[in-house]
Each structure stands twice: as C-alpha cells, then as structure tokens.
Structure 1
Amino acid sequence: MKKPSIIIVGSSNTDMVIKSPYLAKPGETILGGTFFMNAGGKGANQAVAAARLGGNISLIAKVGNDIFGKQAIELFKKEGIDTTHVFTDKKHPSGVALINVDDNGENCIVVASGANAALIKEDIESAKDKIANASIVLMQLETPVSTIEHVASFAKVNGVKVVLNPAPAAELSDELLQNINIITPNQHEAGMLTNTVVDDVDAAKHAARILNGKGVETVIITLGANGALLYEKDFFTEIAAPVVKAVDTTAAGDIFNGALVVALSEGKTMKHAVEYACNAAAISVTRLGAQASAPYRNEVADAPALKEEESIDDEI
C-alpha cells in the first residue's frame, strides 16, 4: 500500500558554518575553529528529516541556477524526495545561511534568501493536484507569507491537514491562523505570535490558549531541552525530551517538524507523534550540521518513548 504523501513547502539554503568558543558580540572578531558547508534551509531540512524517517515526501521550493541549487536538487533526489516542484530561478541566486555555533551548541544565523523569496503563488499552481491529494502539508516562514497563505487556504478547502512551523518568528494574520490545523512555535515564536513573554510552562500554556482562540486546532510549543507542550481539545500534555549533550542545535526544530508529520501521516496519536519528534530532535543536536544531523528511522525507533501503540487514523 502506498504511503500517505507529505508535501513540504519551504526554503532551500546552503549553510556555511563556523565553530567558535562563543558567539561574537557586535563589533567583535573571533578566531574560529572548524568551517564546513552543509545543505540547509528549513523546508529542505524538514524534507530530508521526514524522508530519512520513512515519509513519502514531495518538496515545493525554489533554488538558483547555480552550483548550490544544482547540488541541492541532487541531494534531494538521493534522499528519495520528489523534486518535481523544486523550481530553478534564473534571476536569483540560491539561498545562503551564515551560521556561528559555539561550544555549548548554541547558534546565531543570518540568511540571504535569494530564490526562496521568489517562490510565488503562481509556482504553486502546477502542484495543486499533488497538494489536494496529500495527507499533510508542512510549511515554515523562509518563503513569502503570501505563498504560505495561498497554500494553506487551498489545502483547507481540499481537506488537507496544514502544519505551520512559524520560523523565523513573524507576525501572522488571523486569516492564516484559521487555516492552520497544527502550529509548532518555539517559546520565542509563541511569544511573538501572541504578544506575550513565554519564559516558562505556565506562560507557554497561556500562549497556546491564545493561538487556539485564533482558530488553530492544535498547538505544540517546543521547549528545547525541556521537550514540548501539546495543547489539543482543551487539554495540555507536557512531553519530556531525552537528556543529551548538545553539540549543535542548528536544525533541531526542523528535525522535530519532519518527524512530527511522518508520525502523523502514519496514523499515530498526537502525543505519540510529539514524543517521536522530541526523540528525533534530541538525536540531531548531538551532531553537527543541518540536514547532516537528521537521524534515520532505525535510529529513532530505538528510543524508549517510541514503543508501538495502536494507530488512530482520525488523529492526523
């Protein structure tokens, strides 16, 4: 039986990473250590993560007509991702991210969007049949919000579940939120979306209620090393993350989201899906890089929280 299809609409970047003892302050120059380049971008990261975990993934993205874009498409194909709707833009270069990672695994990132900013509504038209027949659409905020709004509206009309990872943080319209089934902000993003300060679990619960009140059915606020807070059907569930030594947190949120949609597409309960996502993200932070840190299905399946449970098809 063919696996349920997952559509990921988002960015593709090339990450240029430098390790340093600590993150530079304004005006400061640090002599760093290791430099390496990795395939990145939130959309691409999530697509690779989901594909490695066994998802049937199609990526809708835009790259430049340059070496970075060509390399990205080849990497997607090697991961088993459908690249039919990864477009090549002849006017704009591929997206690039400059990343600094310190000795504690914390990072700061600056992104030059390039072709990602040129993924427009007209590009979506050729993928509408694929979207309409998908089980889940996952999006982020490194491509134009107008495109995200267009996809979310179309997906809702066609009964397709929409998951939004609102990163990087941005203000979103109530109209868009009403077309979102599941939203997955971190604490900073949840605070920005609700005009509150989210610095503990109680504050996260308050933010989750606000987002739910704006029309989002299910709210999952990621709490870093403390796991995640799930709010659905007026009920909160706190889900712990495995304790690990973080080396690089660069793509942890992306791995979380990729794992989440795979578990949901396979009919797992929401709680099980969030547990699965926390375990996958925990593995990723023990490794350097973005896509390179994404674990494979057999690695995550060994985690204690991932014991098989009865699938519930109406949870996705």
Structure 2
Amino acid sequence: MSDGKPIVVLGVFVADTTYHAERQPKIGETILGNAFTLGPGGKGSNQAVAAGRLGADVSLITRLGEDAFAELAKTTWRDARVKPFVTPDPESYTGAAFIFVEKGSGDNAIIISPGAAGRISPEDVEANAERIRSAGIFVTQLEQPLPAATRALEIAREARVTTILNPAPATPLDDAMLALCDYVTPNESEAEALTGLPVHSPEEAEKAARVFLAKGVGAAIVTLGAAGCLYVSRERTERIPAMPAGDVVETTGAGDAFNAGFATALARGEDPVAAVRFGCAVAGISVTRAGAASSMPRLEEVEALLRG
C-alpha cells in the first residue's frame, strides 16, 4: 500500500494500568494477580498509534494534563509518528484506565477516568478546524464529551471529509449526529445499546445496521469478534470473516486496531469492503499480543497475513 490521504483522529489518551488475574474480585475482596503492566491507551490514541504504525499520515487532537502520564503519551506518539495537537490542561490530570484481563480467555473489563481528556471541548476542536478540513479521513469515538465529537463531525462533513464514528463506549446519540457519519463501527453490544435490537448473530447484526442507515448513516460495520464483521450500506451487504493470526492473548485494543486499519485502507483508496478486510487483519494480529497501543502491528505484518 502506498501513502494515502491524511487521517485526523479526535480522541482521548489514558495510561492503561492492566491487571491480570484468574477472576475479578468481589466488592470488599482482595485477590492476588498474575501480572501488571503500565502502557499507553485511550481509544483515540490507540487508533492514531495503530494508523501511524501502518504508515498513515495521522494526527491526533486531544487534551492532556501536565504530568508523567502526559510524557508517556508524547513518547508513544513520537515512536508511532503520530502528529499530536494537544490542549494542555494543568488544572486536571492525564487520564488513566483500570483494565482487568481474565486469565485463560483474555477477555477484559475496563474502568476509565479520562481526566483532562474528559474536558475536550468544541473550542479545542475549533482551534484545530483547518486540520480537520484538510484531512481525507476523520475518526472519532465517544470517550470525549459529545459536543466536541459532534462539532468535529460537523466540520469534517462541511468540508466533505470522510467521517468514521466508532460509537464506543455506547452513549445515546441523536439522529442529527449519526447523519454526519459516513461510517459507524459498533461492536455487538454497542449496536444493541444504540438500536435497541438484540445482536447475537449476523442476521440480527444486519437488522441493527439498517437502523443506523435509516438514521442517515452512510454504512454500518458491526464487528462480531471471532465471527468477523458485517458491512451494510444501501447498495451492498457483505460478511467479512475474522483473520486469526495465532492464539488470543487478550482482546484489549482489538476494536481500535480494526478502526485504524479500516481508516488507513480507506485513506489509501481501498474499496470499503476491502478496507474492512484490512481492518480485520490488523485486529487479528493485535489480539495475539498483550496491551493496547503496544499490540498494534506494522504494515508488513498485516500485508503478510493478507497474503496468507
């Protein structure tokens, strides 16, 4: 793949504190864990880092405190060639996340305290409006406040920039915001929460996807874990299988890997379904490694998996 159009991501950085144990403790209980790691996280940051590792021209709009976790963020972005556009916030703290990883399954449960990133505002977005307008692809999620995400989507849509909303964590959204999105990329639980429909099979996922289309979204991509993805637009419905690359270590960051891969392939001119397949390959590699940002693969690894 050659270099493509610029990608701009609006999102949060948090420092991931990851605890591995046999199970989660009950309230009032203390248990011993098996391992601990500290690393970079936050959906927006993870997606930007993953796109950077894939060779994309990617920028990240966010807000940080002035502390040790902020330095971790800057080092992470520098290593992945992400261009940061940061509003410094000395009155708050750089966000942090508690991540529990269950031994054996690799499944996770997460608590996020966004700190400064929870104060990302429409004014922060306006300060970076020209960068959004000059992008080929704009990506955001729902970890920062909705007014900031909405304003950024409005700016991108007005400039005819392709817009991707990863609606995570699931939050009630009005139809006007969804109508600003060329693509939405919920997982099964997010699709359920946002449409009110059960999503336990590809058939149910298609029904949920069509609810998004009825609200003005261009295309919905429901990620189905080991079952792959379902792409639904007004013209086309495709099921794309998962692309396993080895044993699952943990699933933290898999959705971010997918979204970054999808955005990167779109930026390079790929057909949307081919871009979904590329995103599945990125996610397939990411789950074979521990961590979030640290699990994101390089372009050559993804291309090797796609070649089979």
Q: TM-score, with normalisation over the residues of structure 1?
A: 0.94
Residue of structure 1 equivalent to 2:108: 107
> SS at 2:160's partner residue?
coil
Measured against aligned partners, the alpha-carbon deviations of 1:277-300 in whole angstroms (never above 9, x if no partner) come to 001101100100010000000100
Structure 1 position 26, deviation (Å):
4.3
Report the AA paired with residue 286 of structure 1. Answer: T
> Aligned equivalents of 1:178 and 1:19: distance in 2?
40
> Size of the alignment, in residue pairs?
305
Measured against aligned partners, the alpha-carbon deviations of 1:250-285 in whole angstroms (never above 9, x if no partner) come to 100001001110000000011110111001101100
Q: TM-score, with normalisation over the residues of structure 2?
A: 0.96
Structure 1 position 30, deviation (Å):
2.4
List runs of 5+ in structure 2 lacking aligned partners: none
Q: How well do the aligned residues superpose, as a CA RMSD in angstroms?
A: 1.4
In the alignment, which of 268, 271, 295 is matched to residue 269 of structure 1? 271
> Aligned equivalents of 1:233 and 1:125: distance in 2?
32
CA pair 52-2 structure 1, distance change in 2 beyond 3 A: closer
Residue of structure 1 equivalent to 2:73: 72
> Aligned equivalents of 1:24 and 1:226: distance in 2?
30
- Contact 2:231–2:273 (8 Å) recurs in 1: yes
> SS at 1:202's partner residue?
helix
- Contact 2:4–2:269 (8 Å) recurs in 1: no
Report the AA paired with residue 106 of structure 1. Answer: D
Structure 1 position 226, deviation (Å):
0.9
- Contact 1:23–1:107 (8 Å) recurs in 2: no
> Aligned equivalents of 1:234 and 1:191: distance in 2?
23
Report the AA paired with residue 181 of structure 1. Answer: D
Residue of structure 2 equivalent to 1:250: 252
Measured against aligned partners, the alpha-carbon deviations of 1:57-104 in whole angstroms (never above 9, x if no partner) come to 010011111110122112212211111x12211111000000110121
> Aligned equivalents of 2:48 and 2:264: distance in 1?
10
- Contact 1:69–1:88 (8 Å) recurs in 2: no
Tell me, yes or no, if structure 1 residue 295 matches structure 2 residue 268.
no
Residue of structure 2 equivalent to 1:310: none
CA pair 24-239 structure 1, distance change in 2 beyond 3 A: farther
List runs of 5+ in structure 1 lacking aligned partners: 308-316
Percent identity, aligned pairs only? Answer: 37
Q: After alignment, is 28-37 or 168-177 more displaced? A: 28-37
> SS at 1:246's partner residue?
coil
The correspondence of residues 110-129 of structure 1 with structure 2, limited to 5 A, is: 110-129=111-130
> Aligned equivalents of 2:3 and 2:235: distance in 1?
34
Structure 1 position 197, deviation (Å):
1.3
Report the AA paired with residue 232 of structure 2. Answer: Y
- Contact 1:73–1:86 (8 Å) recurs in 2: no
Residue of structure 2 equivalent to 1:311: none
CA pair 106-2 structure 1, distance change in 2 beyond 3 A: closer
- Contact 1:63–1:94 (8 Å) recurs in 2: yes
Residue of structure 2 equivalent to 1:35: 36
Residue of structure 2 equivalent to 1:91: 91
Structure 1 position 25, deviation (Å):
4.2
Structure 1 position 27, deviation (Å):
4.4
- Contact 2:3–2:268 (8 Å) recurs in 1: no
Measured against aligned partners, the alpha-carbon deviations of 1:41-63 in whole angstroms (never above 9, x if no partner) come to 00000000000001100100111
Report the AA paired with residue 86 of structure 2. Answer: V
> SS at 2:191's partner residue?
helix
- Contact 2:3–2:55 (8 Å) recurs in 1: no
Residue of structure 2 equivalent to 1:235: 236
> Aligned equivalents of 2:135 and 2:161: distance in 1?
6
Residue of structure 2 equivalent to 1:284: 286
